[in-house]
Amino acid sequence: MSFQIRKALLEDAHELAACHISAWQAAYKGIVPDEHLRNMATNLTKRAELFKERIHEKNCYYFLPTYDGKIIGMLVLWNSRDEDKPGTGEIGGFYLLEDFWGKGYGRKMMDFAQKQLNDMGCTEIFLWVLEENTRARQFYEKCGFTVDGAQKEIIIGGKALSEIRMVFT
| Calpha distance 70→89 (Å, rounded) | 27
Q: Identify the CA nearest to 26 among candidates 96, 87, 74.
A: 96
Cβ contacts of residue 18 below 8 Å, gap of 6+? 44
pLDDT at 48 over 80: yes
The number of domains in the chain is 1
Residue 114: give the domain boundaries.
Answer: 3-168
Cβ atoms < 10 Å from Cβ of 104: 9
3-state secondary structure of 145: strand
pLDDT at 91 over 80: yes
* pLDDT level of residue 24 (50, 70, 90 thresholds): very high
Mean predicted confidence (pLDDT) in 23-38: 97
Mean predicted confidence (pLDDT) in 69-85: 94
CATH of the domain at 133: 3.40.630.30
pTM: 0.94
What number of helices (H) and strands (E) belong to the chain? 5, 8
Q: Identify the CA nearest to 127 among candidates 156, 75, 166.
A: 166
